[in-house]
Amino acid sequence: PPCALSKSKAMRGLGIHKACSHFLLLLPLLLPPTAGIGASQGHGQGQAASTSSPLTEQPVSVSSTATSGCISDNIMSRHEQDGEEARQIAQYLPYFPFKGIPRFYDIGGFLAEPEVFQRIVDIFVARYAEIGIDSVAGLDARGFILGPPIALALKKPFIMMRKEGKMPNTISSSAYNTEYGKRAGLTVQKDRIKKGDRVLVIDDLVATGGTLSSAINLVHALEGTVVECACVVELKMFIDPTEESGLPSRTRLFKEQGIEGVPVWGLISEDVLTNEAELPEGYVDDGEEH
């Protein structure tokens, strides 16, 4: 599948070799360095728990001569999907019954905790400083929250991929399907991506891959290259489900669109997202129509 779920697959998908270049210390990031993240106990609403099990702060570095498609063993081991850091961060991603979906993962949980949010930014920055990118494209709308701090830390331009009718001088992708239903295509401004640009696509969550496929097609239309699609959460159940499950297949979708070579990376999967939100009395699923 196009998703990079293991070290070996990621290394094959990105053409990675072990001979990575030397690093310089990253300039200070947007927020103060994190002192640690405590793994919360039991169920909650994504509020920070005590720091009885602190996350050891890891230095973040940027390569002065980032080699295309190069990720070191250190980055791969530290930031593997559902690894130690990911499991701690997962405690700040509560799920709610919302939009008719039993488990809607709310990024508001970690956004309310600056140290947790900063740690996520640090992880993404470390990964893509090594790979080497030219710009960061964030998807409407949560990608607009995650993308800018990552782009600023990497000193790279941020590109908005918005719904139709929101920006001038744009091209549009075709309509696409999501886990919620059919959506109109995304748009990007024509002069934001140049031929050969290495673009990192950012969103909060990947499920069926419909939104990501729309973004990938926009980059390709402007003759850019999608280095990777990166999300905080990846729902693995949609990667390559059986026909009997009735679930849409991200692998099949990417193949049909000829974009199966684009890797997808998620920090956290549903396997460790077990923090069920405590619903207030009278809670109503008031999510938009889907």
Close Cβ partners of 55 (under 8 Å, ≥ 6 residues apart): 34, 36, 37, 84, 85, 88, 119
Catalytic-labelled residue, pool 142, 164, 252, 276: 142
Nearest to 41 by CA among 215, 275, 266, 212: 275
Determine the Cα–Cα distance for residues 70 and 65; give it in Å rounded to an integer. 11
Verify whether residue 142 is a known catalytic residue: yes
Determine the Cα–Cα distance for residues 35 and 257; give it in Å rounded to an integer. 44
Q: Position 24: which residue type?
A: L
Q: Which two tokens stand for residue 20?
A: 């990575």
The sheet with strand 170-172 has its strands ordered as 170-172, 186-189, 158-163, 135-139, 198-206, 225-234, 264-269
Catalytic-labelled residue, pool 179, 183, 260, 276: 179
SS3 content of the chain, % helix, strand, coil (to 5): 30, 25, 50
Nearest to 155 by CA among 183, 132, 179, 185: 132
Catalytic amino acids? Answer: 142, 179
